Amino acid sequence: ANSRLQHEYVPSAHLSAACTCLAWAPPGGRPPPSKDGPQRKKRKSEVAEVDKQLDILAIGTAVGSILLYSTVKGELQSKLDGGHENRVNCVRWHQDNSCLYSCSEDKHIVEWNTQTCKVKCKWKGDNSSVMSLCISPDGKMLLSAGRTIKLWDLETKEVYRHFTGHATSVSSLMFTTVKPMNENKPFDGITGLYFLSGAIHDRLLSVWYIRSDRKEKNAVMSFTVTDEPTFIDLTVSEVKEEPVKLAVVCRDGQLHLFEHILNGYCKKPLTSNCTIQIATPGNDGDSTPKPVPILAAAFCTDKQSLLLVYGNTLQPIIEKVSLNTTESHVCLIRDIQKVLSLKTDVAVTKVKTPVVNSDTKVLVPGIPGHSTAVKTPSSGKEKKKNKRKPGETEESIEERLEALDIDVRKVKTPGGLPQTDSFAVLLVQGLESNDAEILNRVLNTRKENVIKNTVARMPIHAVIPLLHELTKRLQGNPYSASLMVRWLKSVFTLHASYLSTLPDLIPQLGMLYQLMESRVKTLQKLSRLHGRLFILVTQVAASEAAQDVTEVNQTAKLVYEDESSEEEGSDDEMIADKDSDENWDEDEEKEEQSDEQDMTVEKEINGDSDLEPENESEEE
């Protein structure tokens, strides 16, 4: 009535699977309490209350088990296991309450005995997954649907009728009539009844008629809506001339109301008698009205008024609306912004200061150079300190540190960075806050041992973020890449065992692999280019050096002739010989010089030919 959350069931996260479907057990027929508990007589009033109150809720899960949860006790009553191997799509209680029917992705339908928590019967319901179930008003038949719809006889578990169904999987099945329209023939409990079905991604709701013969399988009429139906409620037609009222909530947040007497075949799809939307008033601040999605709708017991659930799923608003309009479109204006403000309670903190004996020595964690004894404040002084006079100025942090007896100079380290032992902490902080400044300071260290220690000390959960950060930096400047490689190396050597346990390691490191491959591919070409450039540069340097050398004058500055003690007669002969010798030397020198020049020219030519090799391919 007041849109407040009355009860919340939170399964323990590591043990449970996601909830896929729900169904309330019929009221008043709770499974009897377990025999071991002491039996006590219930008062009459107590019994009456129990009869009215809904208690057991069947919860189907994604792993195939079904939980029975008691809302009165606020605890799980039992768990139904062993029926399904896959996600449970729909659960339905039988009218006598001891039976529960469920269908699953594993193509089977299971009949459960909820008192013994065992499978009563299990049979294959369809060739694909069974999406939806519905039990007939008399409880003897069961409708099941994947894409096609089947009507089963619950006693024999055989198919009684087939219906064509929908192109997509059926999301809802409901009986719309309790008695057949033609009252002349005897009623066998099922023939002559109408039922309704809706499917995902299908904007038509189909109505089917259960005939006595097996001929016609197609829908007798259909209702058209604006979007895929997400929630359907109807009033069952009990008397012959009573129309069926249908409320359909669509994915687009609109509610469509239909009213129709089911009397045989109708060719055209029927459109809604009334469409309801909810919007915000566009007056304060924001001038445009915004639509508010309707989440669910249900008819009240009087079959006239509706309960609407709208707003957001975390804090929905439930409102009773009575509609007596003949209009085809109704827009309700609700100011949802004010209602949906989240209220936060201010937490009351009671901080107690420990009473410390003067003899005990207290070690305070944290800052190096922090050697202070914890002083026990006397409560009177404390109160005086906290209340500042209006004229007083607040103490600066430096003064407070001095009062705490912390040596400020010890705390500050050159460069403003803490000691190396906290590099790991700093790195983790940088990765979590994505602070480029911290990361640059840490990752630009060149010392191998600092890098090793940091990587060894960092927590496991930060390894993958660090690898992503390194990959990002490797793509950048080649200078920073050379630094990042050191980090990569130590991460891979120290955390190899952790990385090898990750199932999604290859996609995580995909970018890094690609980067390495592309770098390695270009290495060969680069080394060739490097080799050629090296030859070229050395030759250019050599030719420059050859030009710079000044030409040496080859003529002798001084000739020293040795006087021999031989006969003077052969003197002339000697001089002539010497002359010819000198000439010979000179000739030889000239030849050498010309040879040298030839060599350099040749070298230059060779160098040029090296520069432009004609037989190399264009790409290289």
The per-residue pLDDT for range 561-575, each reduced to its tens digit, is 887 655 555 555 555
Query: What is the overall mean pLDDT for the chain?
Result: 78
Task: Look at residue 578 and tell me if it is in a domain.
Answer: no
Task: Look at residue 510 and tell me if it is in a domain.
Answer: yes
What are the strands, taking DSSP E only, across 125-273? 132-135, 141-145, 149-153, 158-163, 170-175, 194-199, 204-209, 221-224, 229-235, 244-250, 255-260
The pLDDT-based confidence of 3 (bands split at 50, 70, 90) is confident
Strands 221-224 and 229-235: unpaired
Residue 177: is its pLDDT beyond 90? Answer: no
- Say which range, 131-135, 340-344, 523-527, has the weakest mean pLDDT: 340-344
Domain, as residue range, for 458: 423-520
Task: Look at residue 537 and tell me if it is in a domain.
Answer: no
Domain count, the chain: 1
Region 454-463 average pLDDT: 89
Task: Give the per-residue pLDDT at 301.
Answer: 84
Most confident range (mean pLDDT) of 132-146, 211-225, 570-584 is 132-146
Task: Look at residue 386 and tell me if it is in a domain.
Answer: no
Alpha carbons 305 and 593: distance in angstroms, whole number = 120
Distances (CA, A) of 458 to 22, 490, 508, 594, 602: 46, 12, 19, 72, 63
What's the CA angle centered on 116, arms 115 and 117, to 5 degrees?
Answer: 95
Task: Look at residue 473 and tell me if it is in a domain.
Answer: yes
Tens-place pLDDT, residues 475-505 = 877 778 888 888 999 999 988 888 888 888 8
Contacts of 16 (CB under 8 A, 6+ apart): 61, 67
Alpha carbons 203 and 209: distance in angstroms, whole number = 20
Tens-place pLDDT, residues 430-448 = 888 888 888 888 888 888 8
Task: Look at residue 326 and tell me if it is in a domain.
Answer: no
Task: Look at residue 614 and tell me if it is in a domain.
Answer: no
Alpha carbons 551 and 115: distance in angstroms, whole number = 117
State both tokens at 419: 């000691």
Say whether 245 sits in a helix, a strand or coil.
strand
Task: Look at residue 573 and tell me if it is in a domain.
Answer: no
Q: Which residue has the higher pLDDT, 380 or 173?
A: 173
Task: State which amino acid sits at residue 549.
Answer: V
Nearest to 55 by CA among 3, 114, 132, 105: 114
Region 592-612 average pLDDT: 53
